[in-house]
Structure 1
């Protein structure tokens, strides 16, 4: 039978009797917390982006298909309120810009190309409102939509 002698290498090796569970928990928390925050932040940005795109598209379509200017304005207001409510956009952060090409005259008008731009800001999750950090840690989002107004559209 062979016997192994204790060598000087055996004494120099460190003891592997560490706590693997503690190491896994520590590394898991260090990696998992930023990953969960990233997923939450990206979800918030994606939701707000979908809301802005939906709002711009539906407002442009509703205004272009409206029979007159008063109905177009009423439809735009109703759709904007619905989108703000549905997607949880901050109503004070939503800005809408409407312009027509070619420029000049009333907007919308018959035969014009209607451009609708909806802009908002997404505040990142868990950012405190102290010292205006929520405004600094926010991501601007802008969505645009273009629709052609019918040449038979009534201006009145």
Structure 2
């Protein structure tokens, strides 16, 4: 009767189980936080680029100044948010569509597109491109009807 059954012994395994379970749960959670942080940063950058570019184009006195200021804002915002300048695509359109964009009284619509590569994705076999998440932001700004007349 003094013998103990080996299946009833729990000595010394709780610490090991806690470490293994903790690592198995913590690693995916840390990766999720890193991935969501990268996506959020790029999303905020694309939104800021679209909004500020539309604003400086609409407030510029003429088309040449609008182009120069828009380019300067894009460079500044992509640098500020750590965006890859080669991956950023910008589209500028006007509503209603006219021969010249921007034009007096039109609404300038700036669309910024980019892709976010997930953290720690190797460029092996194009995995970094396959696992990239597309980001798009759009902003509209009304141009003064007196634009370009000054």
Could you say which residue in structure 2 is the equivalent of 1:87?
81
Does the residue aligned with 1:17 lie in a helix, a strand or coil? coil
- Tell me the CA shift for residue 105 of structure 1: 1.3
Question: TM-score normalized by structure 1?
Answer: 0.90
- Tell me the CA shift for residue 11 of structure 1: 4.7
- Tell me the CA shift for residue 81 of structure 1: 0.5
- Tell me the CA shift for residue 132 of structure 1: 1.1
Larger radius of gyration: 1
Query: What is the alpha-carbon distance in structure 2 between the residues aligned to residue 110 and residue 21 of structure 1?
Result: 72
Could you say which residue in structure 1 is the equivalent of 2:13?
19
Does the residue aligned with 1:92 lie in a helix, a strand or coil? coil
Query: What is the alpha-carbon distance in structure 2 between the residues aligned to residue 38 and residue 11 of structure 1?
Result: 43
- Name segments (4+ residues, structure 1) moved above 6 Å: none
Question: TM-score normalized by structure 2?
Answer: 0.94
Could you say which residue in structure 2 is the equivalent of 1:101?
95
Structure 2 gaps of 5+ residues are none
Query: What is the alpha-carbon distance in structure 1 between the residues aligned to residue 101 and residue 123 of structure 2?
Result: 39
Structure 1 gaps of 5+ residues are 1-5
Give the number of aligned pairs.
149
